[in-house]
Amino acid sequence: MTTTTATSKVATRLVDAFAAQDAKSALAATKIPRRELFADDVQLDILFCGVCHSDLHQVRDEWKFSIYPIVPGHEIVGRVSAVGSAVKKFKVGDMAAIGTMVDSCGVCPSCKEDYPQYCDAGNVQTYNSQDKHTGTPTFGGYSESIVAKESFVLHVPEGLDPAATAPLLCAGITTYSPLKHWKVGAGHKVGVVGLGGLGHMGVKFARAMGAHVVLFTTSPGKIEDGKRLGAHEVVLSKNPDEMAKHVNTFDFILDCVSADHDLNAYLKLLKRDGTLTIVGAPENPQAVSMFSLIPGRKSLAGSCVGGIGETQEMLEFCAKHNIVSEIEMIDIADINTAYERLLKQDVKYRFVIDLKSLKK
Ligand code: NAP
Ligand code: ZN
């Protein structure tokens, strides 16, 4: 086992974790430093952590900004095990959660409007970022415990299964936020592209918000699941005849695809003034013809996770509508195999690590 060292003037203690040492190496057991609590900090003993495709992109440096060693994981649910002296909203024993961010400047216009994901100074990501207190890298949820500022910690509503709640912290909020922002609801025809971790949450939310939901998938084996999860219709996107039936009919399409694909094929399906919003973040740029946008005054947009207040709202929405993620639980020792399966679209529909397995 290696130990991940970090130089900092802030007191830290070592905890167990899984890290990749560079873009080519597998994740393996390590020790990482966690800071001792500041007055406004909350410490969680991590129970469950979802496996997002963003973890894989960053472990393999596909986005070209990874800091090594890297401890991924930003879909975290755990029990509060300590609180700083100024913490008001959490007590030891509470079930709590942390998503993709742990800090931001707090004073720019975006932060003031609860959009820390769009912080002018750049927010501090749960992992692969720089901790403002220690100056050392942040480490994510593939670990025993985590310390974060109270204002970035979420309450897990009663009645939600903690393991199946973990993916809501990224896959959930990333699909909920754009559907709310573009006011998706009854009377709208809404497409969701890709039935993966994000896409399956997008289908559930769009359905719960009252839209007519169409899933686009490349996987014939997911047609029945797509319907079971809430899609009114499922289209095999590789079949041009099926795609042609939907030309000029969509109000809104949410693209959740992790790899190269043709955006023009989806822009063509939008009505006049319709919007294609991208949340999937493939490694490579994707080509867009201007003539996919100009004739129908169409919009191509992006969206990044959601605000902290909005994430809490999404969790309450899930409790009210009985929505959680479809999960396959894994031991941390199986994480490298899980990444290979994720690349083959062989997961229904989110891997969740049971962190008890760190001690096996
Ligand atoms: P995932 O579980 O691997 O799902 C991706 C889905 O994309 C697959 O299930 C598959 O669906 C489809 N797909 C994969 N390869 C494809 C290809 N070559 N052509 C067409 N479709 C393909 O990944 P995820 O965790 O949901 O993440 C999806 C993407 O969103 C990733 O790039 C991730 O980094 C990004 N992300 C963005 C944000 C944000 O804030 N914007 C937040 C989290 C994640 P079918 O089998 O149904 O075709
Ligand atoms: Zn994620």
- DSSP letters spanning 106-163: S-SHHHHTT-GGG-TT--EESSSSB-TTTSSBP--SSBSEEEEEGGG-EEPPTTS-HH
Indicate which residue's Cα is closest to atom 29 of ligand 1: 280
In a shared domain, residues 253 and 143: no
Indicate which residue's Cα is closest to atom 36 of ligand 1: 280
User: Residue 200: left (phi > 0), alpha (psi -120 to 50), or beta?
Assistant: alpha
- How much is the pLDDT for 2? 46
Q: How far is the CA of 54 from the centre of ligand 1 (A)?
A: 9
In a shared domain, residues 257 and 325: no
Ligand 1 atom closest to 345 (CA): 9
Output the CA–CA distances (angstroms, integers) from residue 292 to 63, 200, 237, 269, 296, in the order listed.
Answer: 26, 27, 17, 10, 8
Whether the upstream peptide bond of residue 285 has omega within 30° of 0, thus cis, is: no
Domain that holds residue 75: 2-170+306-359
In a shared domain, residues 198 and 108: no
Spell out the per-residue pLDDT of the chain, length 360, in tens: 445 555 567 899 999 999 999 999 999 999 999 999 999 999 999 999 999 999 999 999 999 999 999 999 999 999 999 999 999 999 999 999 999 999 999 999 999 999 999 999 999 999 999 999 889 999 999 999 999 999 999 999 999 999 999 999 999 999 999 999 999 999 999 999 999 999 999 999 999 999 999 999 999 999 999 999 999 999 999 999 999 999 999 999 999 999 999 999 999 999 999 999 999 999 999 999 999 999 999 999 999 999 999 999 999 999 999 999 999 999 999 999 999 999 999 999 999 999 999 998
In a shared domain, residues 352 and 293: no
Ligand 1 atom closest to 219 (CA): 46
- What's the CATH code of the domain at 258? 3.40.50.720
Name which of 202, 112, 168 is nearest 352 in CA terms: 168
How confident is the prediction for the chain on average, in pLDDT?
Answer: 96
Domain count, the chain: 2
Residue 101 near ligand 1, beta carbon < 6 Å: no
Q: Which residues contact 4 (CB under 8 A, 6 or more apart)?
A: 17, 19, 30, 31, 32, 33, 69, 71, 139
Question: Cα separation of 28 and 275, whole Å?
Answer: 42
- How much is the pLDDT for 192? 99
- Ligand at shortest distance from the CA of 350: 1
Distance of CA 298 to the CA centre of its chain: 27
In a shared domain, residues 175 and 138: no
Which sign does the torsion angle of CA 55, 57, 60, 62 carry?
negative
In a shared domain, residues 201 and 155: no
Alpha helices in 168-239 (DSSP H): 171-181, 197-208, 223-228
Indicate which residue's Cα is closest to atom 19 of ligand 1: 261
- Ligand at shortest distance from the CA of 54: 1
In a shared domain, residues 180 and 297: yes
Indicate the top mutation candidate among 258, 303, 304, 327 to test ligand 1's pocket, ranked by most ligand atoms within 8 A of CB. Answer: 258
In a shared domain, residues 240 and 325: no
Indicate which residue's Cα is closest to atom 11 of ligand 1: 194
For residue 334, give the DSSP letter. Answer: G
Alpha helices in 218-333 (DSSP H): 223-228, 240-244, 264-267, 308-321
Indicate which residue's Cα is closest to atom 31 of ligand 1: 258
Residue 196 near ligand 1, beta carbon < 6 Å: yes
In a shared domain, residues 83 and 158: yes
pLDDT digits (tens, 9 = 90+) for 128-156: 999 998 899 999 999 999 999 999 999 99
In a shared domain, residues 165 and 297: no
Residue 342 near ligand 1, beta carbon < 6 Å: yes
Indicate which residue's Cα is closest to atom 17 of ligand 1: 259
Indicate the top mutation candidate among 128, 181, 222, 256 to test ligand 1's pocket, ranked by most ligand atoms within 8 A of CB. Answer: 256
Q: Which residues contact 91 (CB under 8 A, 6 or more apart)?
A: 80, 83
In a shared domain, residues 197 and 335: no
Indicate which residue's Cα is closest to atom 39 of ligand 1: 304
- How much is the pLDDT for 7? 55
- What's the CATH code of the domain at 21? 3.90.180.10
Q: 253, 286, 302 — which closes off a domain?
A: 302
Q: Do residues 132 and 103 touch, judged by C-beta distance below 8 A?
A: yes
- For residues 234-256, one letter each, b for 16 or more C-beta atoms within 10 angstroms of the residue's C-beta and e for the rest, the string is bbbbeeeeebeebeeebbbbbbb
The model's pTM: 0.97
In a shared domain, residues 185 and 95: no
Q: Do residues 304 and 125 touch, judged by C-beta distance below 8 A?
A: no
Q: 253, 281, 302 — which closes off a domain?
A: 302
